[in-house]
Structure 1
């Protein structure tokens, strides 16, 4: 998008003598990330009267629309995807035929997001990666690998997809086979004829175990016993789970996933896997060897692939200089929906903690936009 010259700031970063100083474009608010939470925030900022381009911009490090959805595996379709919610103002089925259950999520969602950005003429700039944010003279300097920005407030909506959590057990570097994380998965066919150890007790681990076990031999390993529950997920249970996650982040504790609170509902597909023995799990191994894994009692298992479905951590490294993280490893959150950073109300984290779900991201985008506008007295 075009940035008006009058928005250029005279703020300069420290440079060695004779070096050309960085020029920062001044806006009121920078939204970092154009996934569900970022687009929701952008929609509400514009709806509240903040001028796109001058009042706010959205910075996205992808080459196209769709956030993390564009990187999901090909076998994730509209028939088995978990949690598609309409963005505010434009229904998903107004853009994509939701009855086409075979349509890949990594095609359908990017199409929807792209149309959403066009429909509301949102000021998304891409590809541009935020490398760090620092505070200076009452404003935030947003350093990127492209244009630099200066803002009064920040809505961070970077999600988790770019920061996989992959615990490196002893012997990690010795393994001669392949190790990969959920974010690198493309489909089960790449594992055909290989023995795959699948690590993790979440919904992704179970879903992908189901896929991969249809084409090759698998072993399921988890640190804790999987929490299967006989219940049908409903809005009331969802609200209870979100409330528990919200309580943690308001105390500055690292957020837990909603699934860690609700457990895994036993769907017909999971019931079938339980009955077939595919979900017979082993406790977590203690060491990785050249050819597989080893437990403390000396038991070993050979493997061609170790597949880590061990979740993601929130992508907040670019905010490190703002010293938001507590000794407990979380951020103390405040505000109506716990999107506001208590230490600095000019910063909102959406898609963090209780707003990590797709429906939560929508509500968080609205709350963050309105609270930040009020705090900065932009209206």
Structure 2
């Protein structure tokens, strides 16, 4: 059975919900297909101690402020899941959970979306699948011979899983710093934090509010033809959330340069010395989850799809939302995705009226 509609949104996390909110305001016929069995998107799979970089009131989707909780400045992942589930219900968004999309193809004047439970013919498609389902692992020599446990950020849950072990945490971004801090402060593990360059902590008074403002200002400058604006990268790489700050101040977040290879028992450093390890946690980032768009043959250098705003440059019926700055400043954040979702919905509405 093939169904037809104006707009099909692929992905029911924060970006898909923001898209649904604005599509509803435009009066469009749409459905959201989400692979997750329950609301909450990728937030449902985060590690137990994760907290946002910003207070609740600065971490909200359009139309509905995230509620605060007593004694909690920065909401945890469970808080975000509850908020997204409430948001979906409050606005009665037509999300079909447990439905994976396998392919989006050209189909004459429409796009054919093939999913678990059938197909849809849509006049436009919004891809909002994010990056969490596509973790990146670097091609480090010896990765296949290491006999200990290897896992990515997506698999980490709690420090108690590593009590009494020597753990290498690889990655100099926020995930690496937060997981290294979590293990060092609470897990009873010996932690070796490994980064390709010395870690750069942002000033303690900078959180997600300031980062969003800086990212927005940079995008505005670039749009106006001004150059030399480094944006968030000029401030540093790691937000000093309370746990990271505590570990840093206790001298528990001193990093070592990247090792040259993994060995069966551990790692080998550039000077030839070796260190045994029980586990390696790769906090090495993600790539956009775009395999469902492969039949459209739009991906270019670096695997990205060229965009004009959120619209795919090579396919005017396709919009990409929430993948990072290349689809809008701060678009991979709760507070940032709303602006791009609004602009995408307006452009889709104008396109469908033609």
**TM-score interval, smaller chain:** 0.7 to 0.9
Structure 1 partner of 2:175: 204
**What is the CA distance between 1:80 and its match in structure 2?**
8.7
TM-score in terms of structure 2 length: 0.87
Structure 2 partner of 1:143: 114
Q: Against the structure 1 CA distance between its residues 243 and 123, is the aligned structure 2 distance closer, same or farther, given a 3 Å change threshold?
A: same
Whether contact under 8 Å (1:58, 1:124) holds in the other structure is: yes
Q: Against the structure 1 CA distance between its residues 118 and 81, is the aligned structure 2 distance closer, same or farther, given a 3 Å change threshold?
A: same
SS across alignment from 1:143: strand
1:83-122 aligned at under 5 Å gives the runs 85-93=59-67, 97-99=68-70, 101=72, 105-122=76-93
Structure 1 partner of 2:227: none
- Residue 338 of structure 2: which of 335, 344, 362 is its match? 362
Q: Whole-Å Cα distance in 2 between the matches of residues 270 and 264 of structure 1?
A: 9
- Residue 199 of structure 2: which of 223, 226, 241 is its match? 226
Whether contact under 8 Å (1:85, 1:92) holds in the other structure is: yes
**What is the CA distance between 1:269 and its match in structure 2?**
4.7
Q: Whole-Å Cα distance in 2 between the matches of residues 32 and 59 of structure 1?
A: 5
Q: Against the structure 1 CA distance between its residues 40 and 275, is the aligned structure 2 distance closer, same or farther, given a 3 Å change threshold?
A: closer
Q: For 1:330-379, what per-residue CA distance to the aligned partner results, in whole angstroms no more than 9, with x for missing partners? A: 32221xxx21212222111110222112211111111111111111217x
Q: Whole-Å Cα distance in 1 between the matches of residues 347 and 272 of structure 2?
A: 57
My pick for the range that moved more, 346-355 or 240-249, is 240-249
Whether contact under 8 Å (1:140, 1:152) holds in the other structure is: yes
Whether contact under 8 Å (2:267, 2:276) holds in the other structure is: yes
Q: How many residues align?
A: 340
**What is the CA distance between 1:90 and its match in structure 2?**
2.3
1:1-379 aligned at under 5 Å gives the runs 23-50=1-28, 55-76=29-50, 85-93=59-67, 97-99=68-70, 101=72, 105-214=76-185, 215-230=188-203, 232-233=205-206, 235=209, 237-242=211-216, 244=218, 262-266=236-240, 269-334=243-308, 338-354=309-325, 355-377=331-353
Whether contact under 8 Å (1:199, 1:308) holds in the other structure is: yes
Q: Against the structure 1 CA distance between its residues 329 and 245, is the aligned structure 2 distance closer, same or farther, given a 3 Å change threshold?
A: farther
**What is the CA distance between 1:149 and its match in structure 2?**
0.9
Whether contact under 8 Å (1:198, 1:309) holds in the other structure is: yes
Q: Against the structure 1 CA distance between its residues 258 and 181, is the aligned structure 2 distance closer, same or farther, given a 3 Å change threshold?
A: farther
Q: For 1:53-97, what per-residue CA distance to the aligned partner results, in whole angstroms no more than 9, with x for missing partners? A: xx210000001000111111122357998996222222221xxx5
Q: Whole-Å Cα distance in 2 between the matches of residues 247 and 78 of structure 1?
A: 27
TM-score in terms of structure 1 length: 0.81
SS across alignment from 2:347: helix
RMSD over equivalenced CA pairs, Å? 2.9
Q: Against the structure 1 CA distance between its residues 314 and 74, is the aligned structure 2 distance closer, same or farther, given a 3 Å change threshold?
A: same
Whether contact under 8 Å (1:164, 1:183) holds in the other structure is: yes
Q: For 1:134-190, what per-residue CA distance to the aligned partner results, in whole angstroms no more than 9, with x for missing partners? A: 112121111112221111111111111111111131111111110011111110000
Whether contact under 8 Å (1:198, 1:220) holds in the other structure is: yes
**What is the CA distance between 1:272 and its match in structure 2?**
4.0
Q: Against the structure 1 CA distance between its residues 259 and 69, is the aligned structure 2 distance closer, same or farther, given a 3 Å change threshold?
A: farther
Larger radius of gyration: 1
SS across alignment from 2:72: coil
Q: Against the structure 1 CA distance between its residues 293 and 331, is the aligned structure 2 distance closer, same or farther, given a 3 Å change threshold?
A: same
Q: Against the structure 1 CA distance between its residues 240 and 275, is the aligned structure 2 distance closer, same or farther, given a 3 Å change threshold?
A: closer
My pick for the range that moved more, 103-112 or 149-158, is 103-112
- Unpaired stretches in structure 2, ≥5 consecutive residues: 224-229, 326-330
SS across alignment from 1:213: helix
**What is the CA distance between 1:258 and its match in structure 2?**
5.5
Q: Against the structure 1 CA distance between its residues 179 and 360, is the aligned structure 2 distance closer, same or farther, given a 3 Å change threshold?
A: same
Q: Against the structure 1 CA distance between its residues 247 and 357, is the aligned structure 2 distance closer, same or farther, given a 3 Å change threshold?
A: farther
- Unpaired stretches in structure 1, ≥5 consecutive residues: 1-22, 250-255
Q: Whole-Å Cα distance in 2 between the matches of residues 82 and 293 of structure 1?
A: 41
